[in-house]
Chain A
Amino acid sequence: MRNSSQASPFTALITGASLIFLFAPLFIVILFSFHATPSLSFPFTGFSLRWYRQVLGSAEFRNAAYNSLIVGLASAGMTLVLGTMAAYGLSRISPRWQRLFTVLFFLPITLPGLFLGLALLVFFAQLEIHLSLATVTIAHLIYVFPYYLLIAKAALDRLDPALEETAADLGANSWAVFWRVTMPQIWSVLLGAASLAFALSFDEFVITFFVIGSESTLPMFVWSGIRRTIDPSINTISTLLLVVTLLLFAVAFFLTLRRQHTVAEA
């Protein structure tokens, strides 16, 4: 009975084809990052780590990676503080204001990256702010903030407000309630959300392109590399980016899930 609806050959075919289209390009990129020759097409002629040595040895690459790290940490860190404050505030105001501010906070998600990048560029130019990693950080903050807020607010909404009332009854002022009752229950979700924010910032390209000026980040470095020469060093950088991002998502996933587990137990 169940089989008839589950495994028709047609569904299997669609699923298989989708998975291939999703993962085959990934696989090929990773595979050729280990290619022994500069060729980027089949036949594959042998494994080597030469492109990894070349990329990691390059001062330009290390500069771009360092910049990405700084921008990612700065925007994720600022998001952690501002986003937590915003989520906490949102959970504490009247439903009418909550709706208004939620729409305002989440609007950047709906804007095309091109529009956001251009708008920020014009904005910075108007204020005569020199383009630098600082402007990139501000741009990334705007970009990752809604994602962070979404997760942080969901975590706060899951908390029982009666627990905070209980803490107040036992003598805790609002500061003590926040640090002794609210934070211990949601910190792992917040850290997970911040890792996600870092990952989003780490490989953001479109908005960065508009507001970066003469500096470089990893996605910018890849892009300018493709314009110069096409060899497996690009694949190598992409693979490194993929690994970092996957790791961060895994951390984010683990931290948010761990929290749900303890809630379910309690």
Chain B
Amino acid sequence: MRPASADELRIEGVSHSYGAVEVLHDINLSVKQGDFITLLGPSGCGKTTLLRIIGGFIRPSKGRIFLNGQDLTGVPPHTRPTNTVFQRSMLFPHLSVAENVAFGLRLQKLSEEEVRKRVGKALALVRLQGFEHRQSHELSGGQMQRIALARVLILRPRVLLLDEPLSALDLAIRLEMEEELRRLHREVGAIFMYVTHDQREALALSDRIVVLNKGQIEQVGKPDEIYRSPATTFTARFVGNANVVPVKILSIENGEAVVQLATQTLKLRISKPPLSPGEASMVVRPEAIRIQPIGKVLNGGLAGVVQDFAYRGSGHAYQVAVNGIAEPLKAEMPAEAMQVFPVGAQVWISWDLHAPLLLQPGSSQNGQ
């Protein structure tokens, strides 16, 4: 294996099974010092199991975990240089806020003076100065998670594990806490490993995203890579809710593919070879699709009927049924769009030549 660089978390060939069910299969991943990395996937994809393996709560059936070349695999949670923030903040109900934050330090037998100083600093870090003497049940959900963060950050972990820490909070608090997490990450400089099923959160927070599906890594990449060039149809659907339409590639020439979509033949620019003629999937983001009145026929496009319309504040979300395509196409128009099309309206939908992405099974590029 390659030599470990400084402060690097390395996951090597980790597999895990509960009984006969394999929840993680041969996960390999390395995380650089100070990276904010997110494990993103639907429930049951194995992301929380992987996090708990790194935290030491689960011993993997196979594989090893290294931090700076030191093998952590058999090390119990209480001696690992990792700390976890859980979905529920798990504050100790019998202790005050200050004693909750001081919990880890008290075990290290530090002087009272030192403990008090560091508790004060930790509370300041999460902007809850003066909360020392509150009881945990007097706090709001967002404050509880801040205290849970202070309680682990006070220990200066090399790896901070966050298991869907915001999923129990209201949207407004969640957005505020995202900002808070980005700031804390900049100030603390530890590896933050974040687990979520919320693609918006993953895109907003991460330096890198690991998309997990059925216990395997689908793709690893920067948020914009994951969003703009998903490697698989799963990633395309899961991140950004893209339309995935089955097409047939008829021929490829000069960086353009001639594609048969339903009854039409379209030309698409291809950015990612290798593709070969045959079955493929066309990925189009909802916001790349334009909807126009049926009369205005443009070059390239499809006729369809509006099936559903939802007002989203920032835009209009449509579902348009197109003959020959099984699933209706999702389209998002900016809110300032001049025209709103009611359900049942005949429309013409189109997209830029370079907007769709073509994916073929087996030809997917790997974002490692």
Is A173 at the interface (CB under 8 A from chain B)?
yes
Q: Assess whether B103 is in contact with A170, with CB atoms less than 8 Å apart.
A: yes
List the 8 shortest-distance A-B pairs measured between CB atoms, nearest first: A266-B93, A170-B104, A166-B90, A184-B94, A168-B77, A171-B107, A168-B78, A169-B84
Identity of the chain B residue whose Cβ is nearest the Cβ of A166 in the assembled complex? B90
B137 proximity list for chain A (CB < 8 A): 265-266
Known: A162-B88, A170-B83, A176-B107. A262 touches B77 (CB 8 A): no
Is A154 at the interface (CB under 8 A from chain B)?
no
A262 proximity list for chain B (CB < 8 A): 93-94
Shortest Cβ distance from residue B236 to the other chain A in the assembled complex, whole angstroms: 35
Q: Assess whether B107 is in contact with A163, with CB atoms less than 8 Å apart.
A: no
Q: Assess whether B94 is in contact with A172, with CB atoms less than 8 Å apart.
A: no
* 18 chain-A/chain-B pairs, Cβ below 8 angstroms: A162-B88, A162-B90, A167-B92, A169-B77, A169-B84, A170-B104, A170-B152, A170-B155, A171-B107, A172-B103, A172-B107, A176-B107, A180-B106, A180-B107, A184-B95, A262-B94, A266-B136, A266-B137
Interface size grouping (class) on chain A: 20 to 34
Identity of the chain A residue whose Cβ is nearest the Cβ of B151 in the assembled complex? A170
Q: B residues 149-191 with Cβ under 8 Å of A?
A: 151-152, 155
Identity of the chain B residue whose Cβ is nearest the Cβ of A177 in the assembled complex? B78
Label chain A's interface by main secondary structure.
helix
A180 proximity list for chain B (CB < 8 A): 103, 106-107
Shortest Cβ distance from residue B151 to the other chain A in the assembled complex, whole angstroms: 7
Shortest Cβ distance from residue A183 to the other chain B in the assembled complex, whole angstroms: 9
Shortest Cβ distance from residue B176 to the other chain A in the assembled complex, whole angstroms: 24
Known: A162-B86, A265-B137. A169 touches B78 (CB 8 A): yes
Known: A162-B88, A165-B57. A170 touches B107 (CB 8 A): yes
Is A263 at the interface (CB under 8 A from chain B)?
yes
Shortest Cβ distance from residue B96 to the other chain A in the assembled complex, whole angstroms: 12
Q: How far is the CA of A185 from the CA of B93 in the complex (A)?
A: 8
Taking A166-B84, A170-B152, A266-B93 as given, write out 10 further A-B residue pairs in contact, using a Cβ cutoff of 8 Å, ordered by the A residue number.
Answer: A162-B86, A165-B57, A168-B76, A169-B57, A169-B77, A169-B78, A170-B107, A171-B79, A176-B78, A184-B95
Is A181 at the interface (CB under 8 A from chain B)?
yes
B78 proximity list for chain A (CB < 8 A): 168-173, 176
Identity of the chain B residue whose Cβ is nearest the Cβ of A186 in the assembled complex? B94
Q: Assess whether A169 is in contact with B107, with CB atoms less than 8 Å apart.
A: no
Identity of the chain B residue whose Cβ is nearest the Cβ of A181 in the assembled complex? B92
Q: How far is the CA of A180 from the CA of B136 in the complex (A)?
A: 16
Q: B residues 101-129 with Cβ under 8 Å of A?
A: 103-104, 106-108
Q: How far is the CA of A165 from the CA of B56 in the complex (A)?
A: 10
Shortest Cβ distance from residue B359 to the other chain A in the assembled complex, whole angstroms: 40
Scan B22-65; emit 1 where CB is below 8 A from any A CB, else 0. 00000000000000000000000000000000010100000000
Q: A residues 129-188 with Cβ under 8 Å of B?
A: 160, 162-163, 165-173, 176, 180-181, 184-185
Identify B92's interface contact among A163, A173, A263, A265, CB under 8 A: A163
Q: How far is the CA of A262 from the CA of B135 in the complex (A)?
A: 11
A168 proximity list for chain B (CB < 8 A): 76-78
Q: Assess whether A163 is in contact with B90, with CB atoms less than 8 Å apart.
A: yes
Q: Assess whether A171 is in contact with B92, with CB atoms less than 8 Å apart.
A: no
Q: How far is the CA of A160 from the CA of B55 in the complex (A)?
A: 19
Shortest Cβ distance from residue B364 to the other chain A in the assembled complex, whole angstroms: 37
Q: Assess whether A263 is in contact with B88, with CB atoms less than 8 Å apart.
A: no
Q: How far is the CA of A168 from the CA of B151 in the complex (A)?
A: 13
Known: A176-B107, A266-B137. A169 touches B88 (CB 8 A): no
Most chain B beta-carbon neighbours within 10 Å: one of A160, A165, A166, A185: A166
Q: A residues 164-217 with Cβ under 8 Å of B?
A: 165-173, 176, 180-181, 184-185
Q: A residues 1-35 with Cβ under 8 Å of B?
A: none
Known: A162-B86, A165-B57. A171 touches B155 (CB 8 A): yes
A162 proximity list for chain B (CB < 8 A): 86, 88, 90
Scan A40-79; emit 1 where CB is below 8 A from any B CB, else 0. 0000000000000000000000000000000000000000
A184 proximity list for chain B (CB < 8 A): 94-95
B83 proximity list for chain A (CB < 8 A): 169-170
